[in-house]
Amino acid sequence: MEAVGLRIGPNHAFKVLVIGVGKRKMAAESNNLEEILRPFYQRASEAEDRLARLEASLSRNKESGNDEQLKLVGEIQSQLENVKAEQLAEREKAVNEIRKLTAENAKLEYRIIHLLRALKEADSRLAAK
């Protein structure tokens, strides 16, 4: 045992001796504790490494997933634009057809009015004879 800095008096010498033994014991316990904790530190380090690899993998998957999603969104937008163009063309056709049918209907109504008037005149002539 090492008694460094002994002071005069029995109580002081004992305290220094106990402190010296306590330090050695603590150093031994510290070394023992480090040995006990070494596997835990190693597993924690391995877990951190795995986590870093998973995060990197997830980041790559998100980037590739975003590319796929952007491509899909682009395709859907293209299809939507095509459908809108087709709908506009069909609407223009329908409007033209409606105008055409409205004009034809007006002509036919005009003819019906004149035919009815001519029929009434013919009936009144026949009745007058």
User: Backbone phi, then psi, for 8, in 5-degree steps?
Assistant: -75, 135
60 vs 82, more confident: 82
83 vs 30, more confident: 83
| Mean pLDDT calculated for residue range 12-26 | 51
H helical segments located in the chain: 10-128
Residue 127 tokens read as 């009745």
Confidence of residue 22 (pLDDT cuts 50, 70, 90): low
Q: CA–CA distance from 70 to each of 58, 80, 83, 128 (Å)?
A: 18, 15, 20, 85
Choose the weakest-confidence range: 17-31, 39-53, 65-79.
17-31
Residues in the chain: 129
Of 19, 12, 48, nearest in space to 2 by CA: 19
Structure confidence at residue 71 (pLDDT): 87
% pLDDT > 90, the chain: 43
Q: Is the dihedral of CA 40, 43, 49, 54 positive or negative?
A: negative
The reported pTM is 0.42
Cβ proximity of 5 and 23 under 8 Å: no
User: Backbone phi, then psi, for 9, in 5-degree steps?
Assistant: 115, 140
Question: How far apart are the C-alpha atoms of 87 and 78, rounded to whole Å?
Answer: 14
